[in-house]
Amino acid sequence: MTAQAPTLVRWEWFKLRRRWMPWVLLGILLLFSQLFLWANFFSYRNLESTGGRVFLGGAPIGGRLTGDAPVAVNCNDLLAGRTEGLPAGIDPRLIEGLQQQCQQAMTRQQERLEGRRNSFTLPESLSGALTAAQGIGVILMAILTASVIGTDFGWGTVRLVLVRGIGRWQYLAGKLAVLALVSVGALVVVTAATVVSSLIAGALVGGGASDWAVLSAFTDWARGLGRVWFSFLPYVVLAALFTVLTRSSAGGMAIALAYSFGEQIVVLILINLFDWFQNVADFLLGRNIAGWMLGEQREGLRGMILGGGVGLGEFPDGLHAFLVLGAYILVLGGLAFWLFQKRDVQGASGG
C-alpha cells in the first residue's frame, strides 16, 4: 500500500468507533462466548449438588415398570436415604436398584466434575470461548463488513472521498484492513473477558487452575486465535464483494447471510442423497471453515450423525481447508477490487 494507507486506516477506525453497530456486535460476540463458559459453570454446580440423577418411570427398573411419566431422582438424596419425590408405596427393590445406579454414577462423578471444571477454568476455557466466538463471529463480521462498505454507498459519500485524490483500491483496502484489525481486537477482548470470568468461576467453586495457567498455554491460545481470525476473512471478502456489487449494505448482508445458511441446508440434503456430492462439498466455503476449525479434532468427528440418522459427511483436513480458504480470499477479494475499480460511482443509493 502507499503512504496513504496508514491515514486511511486511521480515518476508517475514527469513523467506525463512533458508530453504534460495532459495539453492539461486540456485545453479542461477548455474550455468546460467555454463555459457553457460564453454562458449563452452572452445569458443574448442578452436578455437584445433585450427584447426578437417575430416572424412574417408563423403563423396567428392578423388574417392574413404574409408569409412563419419568421421575428424576437426586442421587445425593437417594444415597442419604431421603426418598422425597418418589411414588408412595414404591417397591423397596426399586429403591435398591436406583441406589446401585447412583453408586455407579458417583464413582464416575469426579471425572465428570473435573471435565466440567476444566471447561470453565483456564486454560481450556479460552479454547471453548474462541470456538463459541467463531460460530457467531463469521456472521457478525459479514454484517459489519456490509455496513462499513455499504454505508458510504447509501450516503453517497464514496464519490466525495474519491474526488479528493484517494485511489479506489486504496480506499477499499483501507476499509478491509481496518475490518481485519477490528476482528483481531474483538478476539483479544473475548480472551480478556474469558480470563476474568474463568478466574471468577474458578474462585466460586474453589481451587481451580493457577493464575499463570494462561501463560503456560500461550502458544495454544495464539494458534487458536489465529485459526479463528483466519476463518473470518473469507466472509469479510464475500460480504465486501456483494456489497460493492449491489451498492447496498442491506444487499451485501442479505446475500452473505443467505449463502451462509443456504449452504448448510443444501449440503445437509445433497450429501445424504448423493455420494458424489461429498467431492463438491469439499470445496465449499462453509465446509472448509468447519474443517479448518475442527483441526486436530477432525479425525474423531468424521461422519458425524444428527438426530434421525442424518449424516454430516467428512470434513476437509486442515491443509486442504487452509488452501481452499486462501483461494476464496484471493478470488473473492480480487473480484471485489476489480468491480470497484471498473464500475461508475453513483450518488446516494439509500441502501
Instruction: State pLDDT tens for residues 172-226.
Output: 998 999 999 999 999 999 999 998 998 899 888 876 555 555 566 677 888 889 9
Residue 350 in this model has a pLDDT that exceeds 80: no
Rg of the chain in Å (alpha carbons): 26
The pLDDT, as a whole number, for residue 197 is 92
How does pLDDT run across 89-125, given as a tens digit for each residue? Answer: 666 677 777 777 777 776 777 777 788 888 888 888 8
Distance in angstroms (rounded) separating the CA atoms of residues 37 and 129: 7
pLDDT in tens, 35-82: 989 999 998 888 777 656 666 654 434 434 444 556 667 777 767 667
**3-state SS, residue 54:** strand
DSSP-derived secondary structure letter, 315: P
Per-residue pLDDT at 55 = 64
Query: How is the chain split into domains, by residue range?
Result: 4-36+121-342, 51-115
Alpha-helical (H) ranges within the chain are: 4-16, 20-50, 75-79, 92-120, 124-155, 157-162, 168-205, 213-216, 218-246, 249-273, 277-281, 285-294, 318-342
| Confidence (pLDDT) at 59 | 44
Could you tell me which residue, 46 or 306, shows the higher pLDDT?
46
My answer on whether omega of the bond before 316 falls inside 30° of 0, hence cis, is: no
pLDDT band at 329 (very low <50, low <70, confident <90, very high): very high
Please provide residue 56's backbone torsions phi and psi, each rounded to the nearest 5 degrees.
-110, 120
Query: What pLDDT shows up at residue 15?
Result: 84
What SS3 class is residue 300? helix
pLDDT-derived band at 285 (thresholds 50, 70, 90) equals: very high
Length of the chain: 351
Residue indicated by cell numbers 468447519: 290
Band (2; pLDDT cuts 50, 70, 90): low
pTM of the model: 0.80
Structure-block grid coordinates of residue 315: 470434513
Strand, helix or coil at 206? coil
Between CA 260 and CA 33, with CA 149 as vertex, the angle to 5 degrees is: 50
Residue 297 has what DSSP assignment?
G
71 beta partners: 56
CA distances 136 to 3, 189, 215, Å, are: 35, 15, 26
Which pLDDT does position 14 carry in this prediction?
83
Residue 208 dihedral angles phi and psi, to the nearest 5°: 90, -175
Q: Which residue type sits at 27?
A: G
| Half-sphere exposure (Cβ direction) of 98: Cα atoms closer than 13 Å | 30
